[in-house]
Amino acid sequence: MNAKKLFWILFLLNLLNYIDRQVLYSVFPLLHQDLKLTDLQLGSLASAFMLVYMCCAPIIGFWADRAPRQKLVSASAFVWSTATLLCAAAGNYAGLLAARSFIGVGEAGFTTIAQPFLAEQYPTQKRATVLAIFGLALPLGSALGYLLGGMAGQHWGWQAAFLLAGAPGVVLAFLAATQLQDSARRHIPAANRPAWRDYRALLTDKPFLWICLAHAMITFVQGGFSAWMPTYFHRYFDFTVAQAGTVFGAIVVICGAAGTFLGGKLADRLLSQTPKAYFITIFAGILLMLPCAAAALYAPNGTLGIIFIGLAVLCIFLPMGPVAAALVALSKPSVRSMAFAFNIFIIHALGDALSPILIGRASDAWGLKTALLLACAALLPGLLFTALSANKQRAKH
């Protein structure tokens, strides 16, 4: 099918994917007040979603390597959107935890499929840029999630935020079912289907595993900051819930989008000079994030804090396009869906399935500022893993 048409349908779905994922965080203070939840319980709502998300990804990846992917994309969008709507009906912690967890089933299906599906439509020289533009849905969707959640929650309650976030996905699920076509998977001969030995080879491929581990360290920090930064603004800068969601949403959409786009462009430009372009860009983003985050958390006033948080967000988003392009380059076409599924499992098992709840626990003990600073230490092994992957790189176009 037309690559641009496929791109825009997948991009809009990805945008909603992140809106539905992030809207929860901007209403943390309201849930804390209305449902009397502790920081540990709030963090567990984020972590439960991630645990289900990462466990479902390999199962869906197995089927996605064998079947037309448009059906799985459509079903996934319907499932996560319906689960978001069910969050609005939850009247207690258990109900919200169950609905939030079920969002992970749908989003795992989409994320496992979308990037390799899209990457196969474009040549290698353009993949980092295309995947970076596709990845703009992360900062844009996250920002919209914060804005929508903060404003709707402030005026109409946290239930309204979930209703507004979930409804559009049902419409897009129908659009995906009727408009997407996966010609590459329409007729797959049995001889060309991946075997278990292909999956075993993927799991023993060191460059692939190292870049997944580096991505996990990035995701640990991203997930922790995404979950807790609106609350940080609320507690330390005396912002209202709406102000906190608006300010952090603006930071994510401006700085996150700039970082994502610049990272993809830089990596594609460097690719003409060195095959390690993706890894260089990833390493630079991680390295630059560290001093910016420390400066943000210990800034003497809110204005400087917001400026440095913006720089930190820009840096941590630089690797987004290059990471996706590296995963495509390091995996065979026949197992790409499972490669992304393995990556999802690893980055969330070691990343944002842990960081929100660990930061919540550390915050209860030592305060949120200290908890966020400790979370940034995960970037140090991320630098090592990126260097190891670059050193042992073997591209498999």
Domain residue limits, the chain: 3-391
- Alpha-carbon distances, residue 136 vs 20, 80, 146, 320 (angstroms): 15, 20, 15, 9
Residue-wise pLDDT for 177-186, tens only, equals 787 776 655 4
Residue-wise pLDDT for 208-260, tens only, equals 999 999 999 999 998 888 888 888 888 888 788 778 877 887 888 899 889 98
pLDDT band (50, 70, 90) for residue 133: confident
pLDDT band (50, 70, 90) for residue 336: confident
Residue pair 91/159 in contact (Cβ under 8 Å)? The answer is no
282-307: average pLDDT: 90
**Gap between the Cα atoms of 128 and 324, Å rounded:** 7
Residue pair 22/252 in contact (Cβ under 8 Å)? The answer is no
Question: CATH classification of 3-391 is 1.20.1250.20, yes or no?
Answer: yes
Residue-wise pLDDT for 92-124, tens only, equals 889 999 998 889 888 888 888 888 888 777 777
* Backbone φ/ψ region at 122: left (φ over 0), alpha (ψ -120 to 50), beta: beta
What is the pLDDT at residue 310?
Answer: 94
And the tokens for 233?
């603004």
Q: What's the first-to-final CA gap in the chain, in angstroms?
A: 22
pLDDT band (50, 70, 90) for residue 126: confident
**Gap between the Cα atoms of 68 and 328, Å rounded:** 19
Residue pair 322/277 in contact (Cβ under 8 Å)? The answer is yes
What is the pLDDT at residue 183?
Answer: 61
Calculate the CA 201 to chain-centre distance.
Answer: 26
Q: At what angle do helices 257-271 and 124-135 cross, to 10 degrees?
A: 170
Q: Is the pLDDT of residue 395 over 50?
A: no
Q: In the chain, what percentage of residues exceed pLDDT 70?
A: 94
**Gap between the Cα atoms of 193 and 251, Å rounded:** 44
Contacting residues for 116 by C-beta, under 8 A, at least 6 apart: 328, 331, 336, 337, 339, 340
What is the pLDDT at residue 182?
Answer: 65
And the tokens for 90?
């939850």
**Radius of gyration, CA atoms only, the chain:** 20
**DSSP for 249-279, written as a single string:** HHHIIIIIHHHHHHHHHHHHHHHTT-TTHHH
What is the pLDDT at residue 397?
Answer: 41
| Other Cβ atoms closer than 10 A to 96 | 24
**DSSP for 30-50, written as a single string:** HHHHHS---HHHHHHHHHHHH
**Gap between the Cα atoms of 124 and 139, Å rounded:** 24
Q: Is the pLDDT of residue 325 over 80?
A: yes
- Alpha-carbon distances, residue 321 vs 115, 138, 282, 359, 394 (angstroms): 10, 11, 9, 27, 19
Helices marked H in 157-240: 158-179, 196-203, 206-236
Taking the model in full, what pTM does it have?
A: 0.75
**Gap between the Cα atoms of 123 and 344, Å rounded:** 24
pLDDT band (50, 70, 90) for residue 286: very high
Tally of CA atoms within 13 A in the half-sphere of 202 that contains its CB: 25
